[in-house]
Structure 1
Amino acid sequence: MASVTISNVRKNYGAVSVIHGVDIDIRHGEFVVLVGPSGCGKSTLLRMVAGLENISAGTIAIDDRVVNHLEPKDRDIAMVFQNYALYPQMSVAQNMSFALELARVDKATIRQKVDAAAAILGLEPLLDRKPAQLSGGQRQRVAMGRAIVRNPKVFLFDEPLSNLDAKLRVAMRAEIKGLHQRLGTTVVYVTHDQIEAMTMADRIVVLNAGRVEQVGTPLELYDRPVNRFVAGFIGSPAMNFIRGTLQAGQAGLKVASGAVMAVGAYPSEFAGREVELGIRPEHIQVVETAGLDARVEVVEPTGSETHVVVDTGGEKLVALIRRRMPISVGDGLSVAFEDGQAHLFDAESGQRLDLEHGAR
């Protein structure tokens, strides 16, 4: 196990800056996921930790040893790539042992390490096969086995599940998380899929345009996003946003249609402020009375829940309904927000506004 400390790291390609002074502290044995949209810099940051990209400024330390100028092979890390990067002419066992052979490890030790990794990953029946004879999930396990045999201080994963189908991605998520729990090795994992991040991470680092937006546990980011970007990125279906003006006397949020939506208590000095209200789909309730009039535009049943898009007079909202109820396109409904679940963000800066002086 090892800690990884990223301090004021920057990356420039000529005059173009893509990483802008990133600071991240990763603890011993922690599973940290770097997540964000395409082009946010997460893979570039991972490659700098691996030594595959040069650092323009700042430092990266593994176990308090600055590794800026060390070759990848000298950093005591192992990387699992999106495309597996297996040697097609080699068997599974040869792929797993290749790095150890290059390091001149004795054959008995190599065999012991390969057998141990194969047992962990269920690869024993496949050791003599070539990559072309394996499924996508099996190839990914071989790539993981090749990393395990090196017994590195840090595992680096660069979108390892992107090439798998949806069902296999779910199975491999559990497999990688279980592997981490068994080995206890520090993991830095890159993905654009926030569901992967939520289900696998001890902590999540949300990146946007080369900057860290927020670092926290999955539920910290979900329940208390620091700004509109994090609120909209974390969660599926995504959070709903409604722009409006907070009314005096805590009457609620006045939206473009003229309707006033109840948002709970807020400090009196917020009155007159332009904001965006955020509400998660599961916190929109269908009620009998005293709600907003809405008309159903889309119904998406998934079995365990139903996603419903409604129009509340110009404001379109997605509601997630977990109980079975007859709903059809064109139906009129009354909807309300669950008490205490509204988030408010400044309309200009996107930063979170604390309700009741930080009570939520």
Structure 2
Amino acid sequence: MSSVTIRGVTKRYGALPVLHGIDLEIRDREFVVLVGPSGCGKSTLLRMIAGLETISSGDILIGDRVVNDVPAKARDIAMVFQNYALYPHMSVYENMSFSLRLKRTAKDVIDRKVREAADILNLSKFLDRSPRQLSGGQRQRVAMGRALVRDAQVFLFDEPLSNLDAKLRVVMRTEIKALHQRLQTTSVYVTHDQIEAMTMADRIVVMNAGRIEQIGTPLELYDTPANLFVADFIGSPSMNFLRGTLEQGAVTLADGSRLPVAAAPQVAAGRKVVFGIRPEHLALSDDDNGLAAEVEVVEPTGANIQVYAKVAGMPLCAVFNERHDFRPGQVIRLTWSPRQAHLFDEASGQRM
């Protein structure tokens, strides 16, 4: 097991820059998730760690060793892909043992490692089956088992759950997290799903357009997003954003509504800002003094009710755990704790 250090790494395809000076320290035994929208560079960065993509500039270290020019097979990493990459003509046992057989590992060692991995992943009953006889979740376990038997320093996961249905994704992400807690192998996991990132990571790296926007624990990113991009990307439903003017400790909207904030920074009056509040932090007001919101769509999920409304012409979502009989066109009054509000500079998007 080892740390992974990324220093000033860039990637260009011809004249097109894809990654812009990435600096990242992944600690030994840590589970780090790279998350961001399609095209942000997260999979490219993972493939550069694996040795499947060349580095335009900068350094990547695994432990104390610079691996820029080390071929993938010599980096002592194990990778789990989105499409499983199983050999259809081989049994589960043969798929899991393939890399060890290539290294001419002793047969008794191969058998021990495969059966230990199969036991951890609940695959012992399926070792004689072919991949076509398995469910999607079982195939993903085989792919993980193939990585597990290698005793690699680093595990790399490239959106491994994308091909699974929603319910199975929940099961598999729990299993992957439990596996990491048991093995304590340094792991780097790529996904576009922020729920996967929030539930699995020790730390999350939020990427956008080839740059790192913020690094932190899931709750650090959720509670104190560095900018509008992170605030919008982390959380489901997303944070609400209401644009207005900062005046005397409150944000004034276009219709004159005033939104109090706990500690407004000392800036010139009239500064354009973005007021942020998460849907679950909104509550129904007990009187007529709350923020007026006109209901547009009501989505009951069973566990809660998501209400999509308009405030001063801007969209807003509120989540209620209680049952309410809201109707489109109804005006409701909302309140919140000023300490749960967020404030961003409208021009730069940075947290204030």
Q: Is the CA contact (8 Å cut-off) linking 1:9 and 1:55 kept in structure 2?
A: yes
The normalised TM-score by structure 1 is 0.96
Q: Is 1:180 aligned to 2:219, yes or no?
A: no
Distance 1:129 1:270, change over 3 A: farther
Amino acid at match of 1:109: V
Higher mean alpha-carbon deviation, 92-101 vs 316-325, is at 316-325
Mapping 1:96-245, distance limit 5 Å = 96-245=96-245
Q: Which residue of 1 aligns with 2:7?
A: 7
Amino acid at match of 2:269: A
Q: Which residue of 1 aligns with 2:68?
A: 68
Structure 1 counterpart SS, 2:55: coil
Instruction: Write the distance in 1 (CA, Å) between the matches of 2:278 and 2:53.
Output: 38
CA shift for structure 1 position 260 = 2.2
Instruction: Write the distance in 2 (CA, Å) between the matches of 1:72 and 1:266.
Output: 51
Q: Which residue of 1 aligns with 2:269?
A: 271
Q: Which residue of 2 aligns with 1:17?
A: 17
Instruction: Write the distance in 2 (CA, Å) between the matches of 1:288 and 1:3.
Output: 53
Q: Is the CA contact (8 Å cut-off) linking 2:254 and 2:312 kept in structure 1?
A: no
CA shift for structure 1 position 337 = 2.6
Q: Is the CA contact (8 Å cut-off) linking 1:10 and 1:20 kept in structure 2?
A: yes
Amino acid at match of 2:267: E
Q: Is the CA contact (8 Å cut-off) linking 1:228 and 1:350 kept in structure 2?
A: yes
Which stretches in structure 2 are left out of the alignment for 5+ residues? none
Instruction: Write the distance in 1 (CA, Å) between the matches of 2:136 and 2:336.
Output: 43
Instruction: Write the distance in 2 (CA, Å) between the matches of 1:220 and 1:122.
Output: 34
Aligned length: 351
CA shift for structure 1 position 311 = 1.8
Q: Per-residue CA shift, 1:102-130, capped at 9, x if unaligned? A: 00101110000000000000001100111
Q: Is the CA contact (8 Å cut-off) linking 1:285 and 1:338 kept in structure 2?
A: no
Instruction: Write the distance in 1 (CA, Å) between the matches of 2:106 and 2:89.
Output: 22
Q: Per-residue CA shift, 1:80-118, capped at 9, x if unaligned? A: 000000001000000000000000101110000000000
Q: Which residue of 2 aligns with 1:313?
A: 312
Q: Per-residue CA shift, 1:26-73, capped at 9, x if unaligned? A: 011000000000000000000000000000000000011000101111
Q: Per-residue CA shift, 1:262-307, capped at 9, x if unaligned? A: 2233133253211111110011111122101222111111111110
Higher mean alpha-carbon deviation, 308-317 vs 33-42, is at 308-317
Structure 1 counterpart SS, 2:204: strand
Higher mean alpha-carbon deviation, 82-91 vs 333-342, is at 333-342
Higher mean alpha-carbon deviation, 96-105 vs 288-297, is at 288-297
CA shift for structure 1 position 316 = 2.0
Q: Is the CA contact (8 Å cut-off) linking 1:213 and 1:230 kept in structure 2?
A: yes
Instruction: Write the distance in 1 (CA, Å) between the matches of 2:45 and 2:268.
Output: 39
Amino acid at match of 2:322: R
Q: Is the CA contact (8 Å cut-off) linking 2:260 and 2:338 kept in structure 1?
A: no
The normalised TM-score by structure 2 is 0.98
Instruction: Write the distance in 2 (CA, Å) between the matches of 1:73 and 1:194.
Output: 31
Amino acid at match of 1:15: A
Instruction: Write the distance in 1 (CA, Å) between the matches of 2:266 and 2:213.
Output: 28
Q: Is the CA contact (8 Å cut-off) linking 2:275 and 2:343 kept in structure 1?
A: yes
Instruction: Write the distance in 2 (CA, Å) between the matches of 1:344 and 1:184.
Output: 38
CA RMSD of aligned residues (A): 1.0
Higher mean alpha-carbon deviation, 129-138 vs 259-268, is at 259-268
Q: Is the CA contact (8 Å cut-off) linking 1:6 and 1:59 kept in structure 2?
A: yes
Instruction: Write the distance in 1 (CA, Å) between the matches of 2:268 and 2:94.
Output: 65
Amino acid at match of 1:349: S
Instruction: Write the distance in 1 (CA, Å) between the matches of 2:179 and 2:228.
Output: 34
Q: Which residue of 1 aligns with 2:87?
A: 87
1:257 is matched with which residue: 252, 255, 258?
255
Structure 1 counterpart SS, 2:267: helix
Percent same amino acid among aligned pairs? 64
Which stretches in structure 1 are left out of the alignment for 5+ residues? 354-360
Amino acid at match of 1:276: V
Instruction: Write the distance in 1 (CA, Å) between the matches of 2:314 and 2:57.
Output: 45
Q: Is the CA contact (8 Å cut-off) linking 2:299 and 2:306 kept in structure 1?
A: yes
